[in-house]
Amino acid sequence: MSLLRRRESRLGWLFVAPATLHLVVFALFPMGFALYISLFKWRLFKDSPEFVFLQNYVWSFTEGPFWNALWNSFRYTAVSVPAGMAVALGVALLVNQKLRGVTIFRTLYYIPAISSGVAVSMLWIYVFLPETGMLNLLLRMIGVSSIAFLQDSTWAMWALAFMSIWTGLGPKMVLYLAGLVGIPQSLYEAAELDGAGKLRSFWSVTLPMLAPTTIFVLITSTIGAMQVFTPVYMMTKGGPENSTDVVGYHIYTEAWVNFNTGLASAKSFVLLVIIGGISLLQFRLMRRQLEGYSAS
């Protein structure tokens, strides 16, 4: 028996070996190495590494542009994630009805999410064009004068957040759909017997039962939003007046435009810790809420 066990153990390791090796070489080792690099003052292609210990972290936080980037990412995330989730839940409720042809709509709604980020960014440059753009065309119909969304520092960030709701709808909607299907019908019947209306049973049955889905969607979309890069690179280059210089783009510039290798690594770790912190906080808060529901 123990011989068999040992054989199975060896075989198990053999099965997972290629993927684990890849994980070590392309994820775990690089993470460790990034931490090491972050302790050096080092400009790639320009000079050799000089050990400065935690100085890169100190420099990061004494810098206005880095704070600005953190603040921008925070604004972007705080708007795009909850709004995107609310829209996705609404759409999931809409397409969860037993209607003929509803699956075609579900498929259509998913398409923006599988599209090329660069192509989508090019499309939305047009949508946001002043005067001739699609959005301004709509605004003019309701009597609002033209806005240069991407050229105006008060609007550019919200324009990007708006676009992210469009691109991110599909996957969030599908997750919510799965959550909705998993809610036992008997709960709604019980709520109806207790005299609950549609709205009441949405608040007291649907939302609490969707809490695990909500935690998952909230955490994964926050992680994604805090790292947004392609649309910023394509559409605004961090401008106007650095109003869309989000952390993902800021770190890219630090690493691949200024070649501040050590400093960029330090900043990427700051981002990692912030994302980890937010995720943990969200998980804690939501779980407490979950437990509250299951107790009552």
Partner 1 sequence: MKAFRTLASYLLMLALAAFLMAPFVWMVLVSLHPRKSEIPSIEHLIPHQPQWSNYDFVLRHETLPVARFFVNSAFTAVSVVVLQLLITSLAAYGFARLRFKGRGWVFGLFLGSMMFAGPVTQIPVYLLLRDLQWLDTFMALIVPGVSSAFSVYLLRQFFLQIPLELEEAARIDGAGDLRIYWKIALPLSRAALATAGAFTFIGVWTDFFNPLIFTNTTEMRTLEVGLSIFKNSYGGTNWPLQMTAAVIVMLPLLMVFLFTQRYFVKGITLGSIK
Q: Does 34 bind partner 1 (CB under 8 A)?
A: yes
Q: Report in angstroms how near the CB of residue 143 gets to partner 1 at its nearest.
A: 17
Task: Give the range of 48-56, 62-70, 78-86, 245-253 binding partner 1 by CB under 8 A.
Answer: 245-253
Residues numbered 225 to 244 that lie near partner 1 (CB under 8 A) are: 227, 229-230, 233-234
Query: Of residues 1, 3, 27, 199, which one binds partner 1 by CB under 8 A?
Result: 27
Q: Report in angstroms how near the CB of residue 131 gets to partner 1 at its nearest.
A: 10
Residues numbered 91 to 150 that lie near partner 1 (CB under 8 A) are: 91, 94-95, 97, 99, 102, 105-112, 114-120, 122-127, 129, 132, 134, 137
Q: Report in angstroms how near the CB of residue 162 gets to partner 1 at its nearest.
A: 12
Q: How far apart, in whole angstroms, are the C-alpha atoms of residue 35 and residue 215?
A: 29
First-to-final CA distance of the chain: 48
Q: Report in angstroms how near the CB of residue 118 gets to partner 1 at its nearest.
A: 5
Residues 6+ apart with CB under 8 A from 16: none
Q: Does 174 bind partner 1 (CB under 8 A)?
A: yes
Task: Give the range of 51-59, 70-78, 153-161, 172-180 binding partner 1 by CB under 8 A.
Answer: 172-180
To which residue do tokens 């690493």 refer? 255
DSSP state of 145: P
Query: Of residues 74, 155, 166, 188, which one binds partner 1 by CB under 8 A?
Result: 166
Residues numbered 270 to 289 that lie near partner 1 (CB under 8 A) are: 271-272, 275-276, 279
Q: Report in angstroms how near the CB of residue 281 gets to partner 1 at its nearest.
A: 14
Instruction: At 117, list the tokens.
Output: 């980020």
Task: Count the neighbouring beta carbons within 10 Å of the beta carbon of residue 202.
Answer: 14
Q: How far apart, in whole angstroms, are the C-alpha atoms of residue 18 and residue 15?
A: 7
* Contact criterion met (CB below 8 Å) for 48 and 42: yes
Amino acid in position 190: A
Residues in contact with partner 1, counted by CB under 8 A, come to a total of 89
Peptide bond into 82 cis (omega under 30): no
Query: Of residues 178, 190, 281, 285, which one binds partner 1 by CB under 8 A?
Result: 178
Q: How far apart, in whole angstroms, are the C-alpha atoms of residue 38 and residue 60?
A: 11
Residues 6+ apart with CB under 8 A from 28: none
